[in-house]
């Protein structure tokens, strides 16, 4: 079920402005993290040293946004003392920006692996991780889009997709280990790819967390550490 809009209408015009600004800051951080992740994956797969360097040295921007949004959120709580869905909104934003910051860290980690990857490495080593990267990047985009639109159905779909990532990561690991066994000279570069695939798996987990916070925001139910069946019930049927 879709819940249109990120904020409610309040008697205080200034409160509306503050919540709108919080929304815009959150979306800006999400957009920056998406860009960082996309660039990190591209840098790894294409062995683009300069792009990898740019990602690795830009993480401070994500960190600065996290600090700013966290401070603004806490000011709103102290000044406005929000209740009900307004309080859940601010708390969900506080939790979500932590996951966004960690996704930024994973993007930086992938970029660091790209910097260490030899330019002459065979393209075949990167095919599977490139596919996983596209998949995880799409998950992150869908999670942020669902949060912006308060769309619990889309959030639930992302949670379903996160389960598939675990299987794909295991498949990639087996494939890359086979390459290492066939040619020990590939061990350094393949280890970097394995670490990058692991980082992508963690990005998928953080994207799932974002969707769980969204369900908490809209439905008022904390569905962390619960079964998928319970998540579906809370996301689709409980108000």
Write down the CATH number for the domain with range 8-236: 1.20.58.220
Residue found under tokens 């994500």: 62
Distance CA 25, CA 29 (A): 6
Q: What average pLDDT values come out for the chain (239 residues) when binned by 10 residues?
A: 50 78 92 97 94 95 96 92 86 95 97 85 89 96 94 93 91 92 90 96 96 90 63 57
For 121-148, give one letter per residue: b (16+ CB within 10 A) or e. beeebbebbbebbeebbebbbbbbebbe
Q: What DSSP assignment string belongs to 6-47?
A: SS---S-HHHHHHHHHHHHHHHHHHHHHHHHHHHHHHHHHHT
Which residue, among 131, 118, 217, has the nearest Cα to 172 in the 3D structure?
Answer: 131
Distance CA 190, CA 213 (A): 35
Distance CA 10, CA 120 (A): 59
């Amino acid at each position: 079920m879709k819940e249109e809009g990120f904020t409610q209408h309040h008697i205080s015009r200034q409160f509306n402005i503050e919540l709108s600004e919080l929304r815009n800051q959150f979306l800006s951080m999400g957009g920056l993290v998406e860009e960082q992740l996309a660039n990190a994956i591209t840098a790894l797969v294409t062995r683009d040293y300069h792009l990898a360097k740019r990602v690795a040295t830009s993480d401070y921007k994500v960190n600065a946004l996290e600090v700013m949004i966290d401070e603004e959120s806490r000011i709103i709580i102290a000044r406005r003392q929000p209740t009900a869905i307004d309080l859940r909104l601010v708390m969900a934003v506080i939790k979500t920006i932590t996951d966004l910051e960690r996704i930024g860290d994973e993007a930086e980690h992938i970029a660091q692996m790209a910097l260490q990857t030899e330019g002459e490495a065979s393209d075949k080593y990167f095919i599977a991780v490139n596919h996983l990267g596209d998949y995880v990047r799409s998950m992150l985009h869908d999670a942020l889009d669902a949060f912006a639109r308060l769309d619990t159905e889309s959030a639930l779909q992302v949670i379903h997709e996160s389960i598939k990532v675990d299987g794909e990561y295991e498949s990639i690991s087996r494939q890359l280990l086979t390459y290492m066994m066939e040619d020990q000279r590939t061990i350094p570069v393949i280890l970097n790819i394995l670490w990058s695939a692991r980082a992508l798996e963690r990005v998928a987990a953080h994207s799932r967390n974002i969707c769980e916070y969204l369900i908490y925001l809209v439905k008022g139910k904390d569905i962390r550490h619960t079964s998928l069946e319970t998540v579906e019930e809370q996301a689709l049927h409980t108000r």
